[in-house]
Amino acid sequence: MRPPQRTSPMPSLIRRLFGCLTVAVACNAGDAPPPADGLERAFLADSLTTTQPLATDSLSLDDDVDRSMICRGIDNGLECAQAVERVRLGVSNAMAKRDGERLLIRLTRGDTLVLTNAPDSADVAGASYSYVGHLHPIAHHLVEVQYYEGRSFLLINQRTGHRTVIAGQPSISPDSMRIVTTSVDLEAGYDPTEIAVWHVDGDSLVLEWRLDPRTVVAHPDSAWGPTDAAWITATEIRVNKEHRYGRRGGTAVVRLGGSGWVLSDGG
């Protein structure tokens, strides 16, 4: 069960889409991060700054402490994200560091991406960034973004700084050619309920397939959301089913066939 998010009386979805925070990139030459697309445009704005170089060694998530252990006893989503960041920035030669409200991520081409926390105000919904780690197999950094209600994640290319918004933590395929993300929020709807598969295409991630399982169930009472995605093979994914009020039960399998990705009920 996901740690509770911060709550507020403000309507989350509308305010999130029109939220804004400062993202700064110090570019030495060429390959500047492209303009944000889709949901990114809602809360990312680019400007220039100068920062001190950071170490260039990567942080492997596989060698780190499990998130559930880090967040034991913490029942707030933002506080959990901050605790994870403290652990993962506490290693030597990490490619990122915290400077007050700014998260600095050193890109391998030599410049630094700066994500600045933005406070909530009467007219603009804020967001807080927390570093999760470096995903070496796909050459991206992972950052958690917390809102008044709900959260999302950013995958940031380690060379160009290009940002891709994803709904949940990614799971990398055995051949490192794809990632899958799952997200579920059947009650409040602060987060999407979906399975999404992305293809690694050079420095970018391309959405291959996305599905809300509620759109294919026979009856609303049987609605479920996906959790705990795990790759069976490079073309098969198993997800657990989460029903309303956090009840768990059953699995489903997503397979890549001649006509694309297909969801099959596993019971």
pLDDT digits (tens, 9 = 90+) for 26-63: 433 344 443 333 333 223 333 333 334 444 333 344 44
28: enclosing H helix or E strand: none
Handedness of CA 129, 197, 160, 55 (dihedral sign): positive
pTM value surpassing 0.75: yes
Region of poorest pLDDT, from 80-89, 118-127, 234-243: 118-127
Distance CA(138)–CA(108), nearest Å, equals: 14
For the chain, count helices (H), then strands (E).
4, 17
For residue 128, the cross-strand partners are: 146
Nearest CA to 142 out of 155, 151, 123 is that of 155
Confidence of residue 89 (pLDDT cuts 50, 70, 90): very high
Q: Give the 3-state secondary structure percentages of the chain, helix then strand then coil, rounded to 5.
A: 15, 40, 45
